[in-house]
Amino acid sequence: MVQRQFPRPVEVFELMRFKRPQLNARTRRLESALTIEDLRAIAKRRTPRAAFDYTDGAAEGELSLARARQAFKDIEFHPHVLRDVAHVDTSATVFGGPSALPFGIAPTGFTRLMQTEGETAGAGAAGAAGIPFTLSTLGTTSIETVKEANPAGRNWFQLYVMNKREISYALVERAAKAGFDTLFFTVDTPVAGARLRDKRNGFSIPPQLSLRTIANAIPRPWWWYDFLTTPKLEFASLSATGGTVGELLDAAMDPTISYEDLRVIREMWPGKLAVKGVQTVEDARKLADFGVDGIVLSNHGGRQLDRAPIPFHLLPSVVREVGADVEVSVDTGIMNGADIVACVALGARFTFIGRAYLYGLMAGGRPGVDKAIQILSDQIIRTMKLLGTHSLEELNPGHVTQLTRLAPIAR
């Protein structure tokens, strides 16, 4: 028989603690987020459909994005046991400099439309975390303002070679003058991908409002307040070049881009040069022979060619082919620190987050970006400890098996 007694308050309170109420609404909702998916859910509640879908969506049927995310789910880790992992080192050296974590913030366009702090929040959070921040040609904060937001950290610039080449050349010079140390020459946008969510939502700068988009935005007055009471939304680095938003977008996609353009930019740029948007082993080899410092395996987050190769699947083959000659990085589909650990184990020098950072931004501005970085950092550290590794250098292909879901038909 179990002996029963009246509860003793002293004993009860030894076993229970009441959580102190959090009165700040933003802090409260961010504290509830344990994963990037949680931040996504908060962002979706707080952001009008057009802005959220621009971040969340991809091209055509969005197969490339779905497959990229599935590829990270379809892995098996192989941990080692009985190792002292009280402390792990997550620091990396990439493009000639340090990063406290093996990921940086990827370039994103239209960012201030997601949440008014935009790239300033991303750059500031990156600087505080000791990781690099990458500004897009189509960013809504200028090169110089990003430098002010992250004065002591590493700032990188993503370049679209525009059909008016002098515009791109001027951006290269400005980024160099502002102390940006790495340039990402983007090669997967000869034309714009068919982003169907954006077409249906009338997404643009300025927004093309309809009764549907207005009705969706009405329950989110905080977004309208930010939109209407902050500086004009524009492509900040291109604001002095003239032309409408549509004309600038058209100019950023040039089907004539070639290796000659890469040669010109290589001669102009004083820092490290990486090529972003590589999707075949053959192109990786050709670029390595050309003499670039790095390549980024990327299908543009699934936003250009749908059914494009999965960068994570391509990674081992590219590393075997050119890993001794150039630094290989990966983006597209990363939503968990374990995804990043798997990339490093298979030979990636570095990784990039785009949507994961923007979900945090939409969920809570600068603190939301800090939260996204912290979530990924905690996941990286925990995964490394559970694998029995002390540093990124100890990660190797033996730690990861890529499970097969899609396999080519034999010819």
**Residues designated as active site:** 300
Q: How far apart are CA 175 and CA 178, in angstroms?
A: 5
Q: How far is CA 125 from CA 120, 122, 266, 367, in A?
A: 8, 5, 30, 8
Q: How far apart are CA 292 and CA 270, in angstroms?
A: 12
Strands 92-94 and 75-77: unpaired
**Widest distance between CA atoms in the chain:** 88
List of residues 6+ apart from 123 with CB closer than 8 A = 105, 133, 135, 141, 146, 149, 150, 153, 155
Q: Do 358 and 404 contact (CB within 8 A), yes or no?
A: no
Return the residue matching tokens 């292909």: 397
291 secondary structure, DSSP code: T
How far is residue 123 CA from its own chain's centroid?
A: 12
Return the residue matching tokens 């700032």: 155
CB atoms within 10 A of CB 231: 10
Q: Where are the alpha helices (DSSP H) in 32-62?
A: 36-46, 49-56
Q: How far apart are CA 110 and CA 118, in angstroms?
A: 8
Q: How far apart are CA 265 and CA 371, in angstroms?
A: 36
Dihedrals φ, ψ of 368, to 5°?
-70, -40
